[in-house]
């Protein structure tokens, strides 16, 4: 029996969470077209006949502007320390930059074997894929190279088979039916946050947090009360929208997914509150479940 840990690391927006969901064949982490979507480590536990792979999705490594960003970076770097293998996920359709250099340095420092997962090849010309891969090849002694399209590709047999070669023999770390170690309240909050990321623009998505205050489950239904935190009064206005239209839209989009998660009808109430500069307040970041919680 093989059993081990794989970290998915890279720059924001590279497609780490999309890849995690594709590997798991179900949605574990939220995804958006806005950078810095993932704010904390999220584990997806893939149970195979004779192996358990614990994939850990991490926040995209970036130049932080708030305490939240520093903690997200720290979390990604901490996750890298304790794994058997790293997937460095890179968006192949954007040129190699200083951000990639920075991530690469962290991977090198870890000393852990790494695969380069060259993503979004559906957006690239074949000759560019080869050209960019050659460039990456010169930068680091990667154990393997995998050009993929996390969004379109269905099978990862080859990647998974090769991954198993790098994992030690051992007993599973989680009971075999476990899909993720994320708590249910956090997952509900993330579903709502994903809809906020979809529906809002500019600084609003990044200034938003979701905190599930109440979760009352009955036999056939559940009551969910979630607080959406923003940093400014103007952002609160945008989040609520004209006569509550935006909040209603977010709720309407989130509810069916929460219902699927809980397996019952959901009564969802959303509230918006201004929490000034929460992204620089340690206690609040921890309370909302983002960033590095070990410190």
Binding site for ligand GTP (CB under 6 A): 10, 12-18, 31-33, 35-38, 59-60, 119-120, 122-123, 149-151
Q: How far is the CB of 275 from ligand GTP (least distance, A)?
A: 22
- To the nearest whole angstrom, how small is the minimum distance from the Cβ of residue 15 to ligand GTP? 3
The site partner of 18 among Mg ion, ligand GTP, none (C-beta below 5 to 8 Å per kind) is ligand GTP
From the list Mg ion, ligand GTP, none, pick the one residue 12 interacts with, judged by a Cβ distance below 5 to 8 Å according to partner type: ligand GTP
Comparison of 4 and 12: residue with beta carbon closer to ligand GTP: 12
Q: Closer to ligand GTP at the Cβ: 4 or 69?
A: 69
Q: What sign has the CA pseudo-torsion 278, 66, 35, 41?
A: negative
CB atoms within 10 A of CB 33: 8
Phi (first) and psi of residue 101, to 5 degrees: -55, -45
Largest separation between any pair of C-alpha atoms in the chain: 58
Give the contacts of 216 (CB within 8 A, at least 6 positions apart): 222, 223
The residue of the chain with the least Cβ separation from ligand GTP equals 60
Measured from the CB atom, the residue of 2 and 206 that comes closer to ligand GTP is: 206
* Shortest distance, position 82 Cβ to Mg ion, whole Å: 19
Q: Which listed option, Mg ion, ligand GTP, none, makes contact with residue 123 (CB within 5 to 8 Å by class)?
A: ligand GTP
**C-beta of 264: minimal distance to ligand GTP in Å?**
28
CB nearer to ligand GTP: pick between 13 and 110: 13
Other Cβ atoms within 10 Å of 77 Cβ, number: 18
Q: To the nearest whole angstrom, how small is the minimum distance from the Cβ of residue 267 to ligand GTP?
A: 29
- Pairing state between β 85-91 and 2-10: parallel
Site for Mg ion in 10-29 (CB under 5 A): 16-17
- Both tokens assigned to 229: 């935190």
Q: Which long-range contacts (CB under 8 A, 24 or more apart) does 178-181 make?
A: 178/45, 178/47, 179/24, 179/26, 179/28, 179/44, 179/45, 180/28, 180/42, 180/43, 180/44, 180/45, 181/43, 181/45
Of 3 and 38, which has the nearer Cβ to Mg ion?
38
Give the interface with Mg ion as residue ranges (CB under 5 A): 16-17, 37-38
């Amino acid at each position: 029996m093989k059993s081990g840990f794989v970290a998915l690391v890279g720059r924001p927006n590279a497609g780490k969470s999309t890849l995690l969901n594709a590997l798991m064949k179900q949605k574990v982490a939220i995804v958006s077209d806005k950078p810095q979507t993932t704010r904390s480590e999220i584990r997806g536990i893939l149970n195979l006949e004779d192996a358990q792979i614990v994939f850990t999705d991490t926040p995209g490594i970036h130049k932080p502007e708030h305490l939240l960003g520093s903690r997200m970076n720290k979390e990604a770097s901490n996750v890298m320390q304790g794994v058997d293998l790293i997937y460095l996920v890179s968006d192949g359709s954007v040129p190699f930059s200083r951000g990639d250099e920075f991530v690469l340095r962290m991977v090198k420092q870890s000393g852990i074997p790494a695969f380069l997962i060259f993503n979004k090849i559906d957006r690239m010309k074949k000759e560019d894929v080869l050209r960019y891969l050659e460039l990456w090849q010169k930068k680091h002694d990667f154990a393997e190279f995998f050009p993929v399209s996390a969004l379109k590709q269905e099978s990862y047999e080859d990647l998974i088979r090769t991954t198993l070669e790098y994992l030690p023999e051992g007993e599973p770390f989680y009971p075999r039916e476990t899909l993720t170690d994320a708590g249910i309240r956090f997952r509900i909050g993330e579903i709502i946050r994903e809809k906020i990321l979809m529906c809002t623009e500019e600084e609003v998505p990044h200034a938003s947090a979701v905190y599930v205050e109440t979760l009352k489950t009955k036999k056939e239904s559940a009551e969910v009360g979630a607080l959406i935190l923003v940093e400014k009064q103007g952002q609160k206005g945008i989040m609520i929208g004209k006569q509550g239209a935006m909040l209603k839209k977010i709720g309407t989009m989130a509810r069916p997914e929460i219902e699927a998660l809980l397996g019952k009808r959901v009564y969802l109430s959303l509230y918006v509150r201004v929490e000034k500069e929460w992204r620089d307040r340690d206690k609040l970041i921890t309370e909302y479940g983002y960033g590095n919680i070990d410190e």
